[in-house]
Amino acid sequence: MTTTIQSDRSAASHLLSAPVIVAALGYFVDIYDLLLFGIVRLPSLISLGLSEEAVSSVGASILNWQMTGLLLGGILWGVLGDKKGRLSVLFGSIITYSLANIACGFVQDPTTYKVLRFIAGVGLAGELGAGITLVSEILPKELRAIGTSLVAGIGLLGAVVGYFTVEFFDWRNAYFIGGGLGIALLLLRIGVFESGIFEHVKGQKHVEKGNFFALFTNRERLIRYLKCIGMGLPTWFVIGILATFSNEFGKALGIAEAIKPGLAIMWCYVGLSAGDFLSGFLSHWLKSRKKAVFILMLFTAFCSVGFLYAGINTAAQLYTVSALLGFGIGYWAMFVTIGAEQFGTNLRATAATTVPNMVRGTVVLMTTLYASFKGTFSIIDSGALVGLICFAIGFYCILTIPETHGRDLDFIEE
C-alpha cells in the first residue's frame, strides 16, 4: 500500500513538474495566437478601411503569409532545438510570437499586417514541437503519453479562450492579451530544466545535430518522416475543411440558421482538448501508440461521414458533430509524440517541430482540392473526396509506422 502511494506521488510530481506546466501553458498561448487572426479577420480588416470585396482576398493573403511563417519556422526552430537545446527554442518561440502579436494590436495597414503575421507564424511554429520533445525526454517512458497529452489537452483550450476574448474585447485588445500572456509565461521559466538526454548528446562533438536534410538522405528515415506527416492529415481535414467551411456545408445541408465557422472551430477545439486528454491514457492502457491513434482516427472517419451524409438539419446538430469530430482528432498530441519517438536525440526536435507544421501546411493543398472538386461535384461530395484521400493516407501510415510505446529515447540517428 505504501509503495503504491509513493508511486502515485512520484508520478504526480513528474506530471506536475515545471517543464510540463510551462510546455502546457506555452501551447495554450500558442493556440490562442495561432487561431486569433482567423477569429478577428473580418473586424480587423474592415476597421483598416478595406471594402467587403477586398476583405476576402486580403484575408486569404495574410493567412497564407502566416502559414508560410509556420512552415519556415518549423524548420528553423527544429534545427535550433537539436543544436542549441529544447529550452532555448521553447522560450525563443514564445517571445517571438508574443512580441509579434502585441505589434499586431498597433497595425494600421494590410502590408504591415502580413509581415507581422508572418513573424508570428515563425514564432508559433516552435512551441509545440519543442515542448513535446522536452516533456518526452524528461518524463519516465511509462508516463510519456500521459504527459504529452496533458500538454496538448490544456494547450488546446487556448482556442476557446481566444473565441470568448474576441466576443468581449476589441480585436486590438485581443492581440494585446495574447502577447501579454506570452510575456507573462516567460516569468515561469524559473525551475524549468533542460533535457538530460539532450545534454548528454550535446557534449558529443562528433555527432551531427539538427541536420534537416538528414531526414531526406536515408530512405528508411524518410519513409518514417513521411508517415509521421501522413497520419496527421485527418486532423487538419476536420479543422481546415469541415469546420472552416462549415457555413458552406450548412447551406448545402439545408440548415436554415446561418452557421458560424468560428463557433464550429471553437466546438471542434473543445472536443479536441478532451480527446487529447483521453489519448494519452488510452495509449497508456493499451500499451500502444498505434492502437490509440487508430481507434480515434476510425471514430473521426465515422463522424466525418455523419457530418456530411447523416442528414444534419439544425445548427445545434452541426456544432455537436463538430465537437465529436474534435474529440476524434484528439490524437494530435499522440501523433506529435510518435514523431518525437521515431527519431534519435540529434534529430528529434527537428522532426517533432517540422512534422505538425508540415501537416498544417497541407491545408493549402486540401483547400485547393476542395475548390477544384466543387467545379464538378456538389459541396458535400467535394468535402467527402478530400476526406477520403486524407483518411486513406492516414490509416495506411498509422498501420505501417513502427510502434514506439515504451521506447528508450536515448539513441542517435547515424
**pLDDT over threshold 60, residue 408:** yes
**Predicted pLDDT at 115:** 94
Angle between helices 110-124 and 86-104 (to 10 degrees): 160
Q: Residue 143: name the closest of 285, 247, 284 by CA.
A: 284
- The C-alpha torsion from 389 through 30 and 334 to 404, rounded to 10°, is 110
**Predicted pLDDT at 296:** 96
**Predicted pLDDT at 10:** 58
Mean pLDDT, to the nearest integer, of 37-42?
80
Q: Which residues are CB-contacts of 12 (< 8 A; sequence separation ≥ 6)? A: none
**Predicted pLDDT at 284:** 87
Residues 126 and 90: beta-carbon distance below 8 Å: yes
Rg (CA), the chain: 21
**pLDDT over threshold 50, residue 2:** no
**Predicted pLDDT at 157:** 81
The type of residue at 92 is: G
Distance CA 251, CA 256 (A): 8
Mean pLDDT, to the nearest integer, of 159-181?
88
CA 386-300-68 angle, to 5 degrees, is 50
As given in the structure block, the three cell numbers for residue 383 are: 468535402
The type of residue at 141 is: K
Phi, psi (rounded to 5 degrees) for 105: -70, -15
At residue 11 the predicted structure's pLDDT band, cuts being 50, 70 and 90, is low
**Predicted pLDDT at 390:** 97
**pLDDT over threshold 90, residue 298:** yes
Q: How many residues does the chain have?
A: 414
Mean pLDDT, to the nearest integer, of 311-320?
94
The least confident of 7-16, 43-52, 151-160, 304-313 is 7-16
Distance CA 86, CA 84 (A): 7
**pLDDT over threshold 50, residue 3:** no
**pLDDT over threshold 80, residue 9:** no
The least confident of 63-67, 191-195, 291-295, 336-340 is 191-195
**Predicted pLDDT at 66:** 87
More confident residue, 137 or 314: 314
**pLDDT over threshold 50, residue 6:** no
Helices vs. strands in the chain: H and E counts, helices first: 21, 0
Of the segments 25-29, 182-186, 209-213, 218-222, which one has the largest average pLDDT value?
A: 218-222
Q: Which residues are CB-contacts of 44 (< 8 A; sequence separation ≥ 6)? A: 37, 107, 113, 171, 172
Distance CA 348, CA 344 (A): 6
Cell 519556415, residue located: 72
List C-alpha distances in Å: 160 to 22, 35, 110, 155, 267. Answer: 19, 10, 26, 10, 8
**pLDDT over threshold 50, residue 163:** yes
Show the domains of the chain with their CATH numbers: 14-190 (1.20.1250.20), 217-408 (1.20.1250.20)
The least confident of 1-10, 95-104, 281-290 is 1-10
Average pLDDT, the chain: 86
**Predicted pLDDT at 118:** 94
**Predicted pLDDT at 105:** 93
| Tens-place pLDDT, residues 45-100 | 888 888 777 777 787 788 888 888 888 998 999 899 888 888 888 888 888 999 99
**pLDDT over threshold 90, residue 151:** no
Mean pLDDT, to the nearest integer, of 251-278?
88
The type of residue at 134 is: L
Q: Residue 240: name the closest of 112, 148, 141, 326 by CA.
A: 326
As given in the structure block, the three cell numbers for residue 134 are: 522536452
- The C-alpha torsion from 225 through 226 and 231 to 233, rounded to 10°, is 130
Taking the CB of residue 202, how many other CB atoms lie within 10 A of it? 18
Distance CA 333, CA 356 (A): 10
Distance CA 11, CA 14 (A): 5
Give 330's Cβ-side CA count (13 Å radius). 36
More confident residue, 47 or 155: 47
* Reported pTM: 0.86
Residues 283 and 143: beta-carbon distance below 8 Å: no
Residues 163 and 37: beta-carbon distance below 8 Å: no
Give 331's Cβ-side CA count (13 Å radius). 30
Three-state secondary structure call for residue 162: helix
Phi, psi (rounded to 5 degrees) for 100: -65, -40
At residue 254 the predicted structure's pLDDT band, cuts being 50, 70 and 90, is very high
